Amino acid sequence: MENEQAPIRSDAAERMSSGSAWMTVGTFASRLLGLLYIIPWVRWMGDPQTAAEANALYDIGYKYYSIFLVISTAGVPSAIAKQMAYYNARKQYDTSQQLFRSGTILMLVMGLVSGLVLFFAAPWLAESTPTREVSHAVLTIRSLVPALVLFPLLSIFRGYFQGHQDMKPSAISQITEQFFRVAYMLASVYVIRRIFDGSVVTAVSHSTFAAFIGGAVAILTLAFYYLRHRKEYPVSLTKKASYQVKTSGMIKEIIMIAIPFIITGSGIELTQLIDTNTFMPIMEKVSNLGQADIIYEYGIFSANINKLVTVLVSLALAIGATSIPVIANTYSRELDHQERSTSQPILSETSHLVIHNLQLFLMVMLPVALGLFILAGPVYNLVYRPDALGSMYLRISCFTALGMGAYSVLVSVLQAMDHHKQAVIGLALGLVMKLVWQYPLIFFLGTPGAMLATIISFTTISLYYLYHIHRLVGFRYRELLNESLPIVLSAFIMFLVAGLLYLILAYLLPMPNLLGSIVISLLVVAVAVWVYLLLMLKSHKLDLVLGVRAEDLRRKLGLS
């Protein structure tokens, strides 16, 4: 029986690897575009203090927008992808299509309602934010309402493709979305600040409105792809539905499935909102800093650093989004098989996919986080301006990114198997840890204390999730450790080599000169990538992504 299951298991793992590759490339490219715009953006805004405050204002708007976006989409993309994969696995394609149509109606309504609520709630939401004038935050928040109305529709279109386990269109649409968003953002800021010498608030508001421009282009991208490839998606082979389900019943099913996705999908944003609403009041009590200095530090750790951390976390989000339909499909099929037979090992395929998924996470996230830890100084200098605080906070945030990334992957695995209660309990536990540790850590450590509280929060959640996934599918901790050890060792060796090279180059080349930052970053990245890829090829772990092509590379490089 195990031999019969091997091809199925291999196919599922291959689909997960392929989907993760597409989503990782698409998400990383889009996030990178969303990061690189900062280089001219902060310089066109004005001096470092003005730029930091502008970025803090931008960050305030996006924090609330992100929460409302998660609520308005109600976790529907993940829920739709999961349920469509469930029905498609049973060849109930008509039911799958009906689910999508019902979800689209729901998203149109949710987008309009959420947009209206955000518009009228903006003055109340802006009251406790770290900004000079509440009216500035209100305008910034309201400029995101058009995007909030549009994005639920975009999200369900992406869920449709992911439900068919086709990640390519979602990945491409992310790139086009960010490209046009950034283009509008930079053009508007340049015209407002450099040509007409307009206000910072106006420039920031246009920067946030750019999300609507990007969303509209992304929808057009998905529509174009679907029209060209619609024959590739399975449809019902019969005129009669597999079983009749009312639209109201479908919408109820979507909402019931999506509610846990709302809560867990807001996890990262909720911890950041805790910082947004508690950082300034706590700092005013426990530090001697003035309002301008507190806003400046908030701008660095919450706005500037988070933009860099988001790029790292996006890699894990891509892996997590890919895993939901694949694991849901395999888990559902395996449970059905168990109902008919007791000879199959308990959830062996699902267990294999969980370990495979965690290896993909480590393979991508660990070396990137360690690399950014080494290059924190040059990278911060390159994207923003030389700042010792920024470099230090970025190094701390590398560990934050690992915790957030682990959370994103593990919660996706847990929810793919319909264990939403444990997913919500774990998040609640983490938020409590964040609140409990926030004040004492800021009191003793200042701004880094808020970052450390976030690390503790996501570490707690991740350990809780891992324990429950282990109980559900029965994977062996020893197997997970043995499979992960070569990846961890490869990343650690890369860290040592890259770190030594960085110390040498930092001594030889001027710092924090902009050109020196670029040269150091490029050289260290080139060596680090080469060392890591060689080690991963040698350990056969790169086979998880490249498959048989990895063996060809080993032969060419003499590593066989």
The 10s digit of each residue's pLDDT in 543-552 is 877 767 788 8
State both tokens at 545.
Answer: 């992504």
Residues 6 or more apart in contact with residue 246 via CB below 8 angstroms: none
In this predicted structure, the answer to whether residue 36 has a pLDDT above a threshold of 70 is yes
Query: 10 Å Cβ neighbour count for 510?
Result: 12
Model confidence at 332, in pLDDT bands (50, 70, 90)?
confident
Percent of the chain with pLDDT strictly greater than 70: 85
In this predicted structure, the answer to whether residue 481 has a pLDDT above a threshold of 70 is yes
Query: 10 Å Cβ neighbour count for 201?
Result: 20
Model confidence at 16, in pLDDT bands (50, 70, 90)?
low
pLDDT at 239: 43
pLDDT at 240: 46
What global pTM score does this model have? 0.78
Percent of the chain with pLDDT strictly greater than 90: 45
Q: Is the dihedral of CA 414, 419, 424, 426 positive or negative?
A: negative
> Which stretch of 16-25, 327-336, 358-367, 420-429 has the lowest confidence by average pLDDT?
16-25
pLDDT at 150: 95
In this predicted structure, the answer to whether residue 11 has a pLDDT above a threshold of 60 is no
E-only strand ranges, 220-304? none
pLDDT at 352: 86
In this predicted structure, the answer to whether residue 34 has a pLDDT above a threshold of 90 is no
> Which stretch of 69-78, 146-155, 471-480 has the lowest confidence by average pLDDT?
69-78
In this predicted structure, the answer to whether residue 234 has a pLDDT above a threshold of 70 is no
pLDDT at 21: 63
Query: Which strand (E) or helix (H) includes residue 17?
Result: helix 2-36
Closest among 198, 200, 202 to 51, alpha carbons compared? 200
> Which stretch of 193-207, 236-250, 445-459 has the lowest confidence by average pLDDT?
236-250
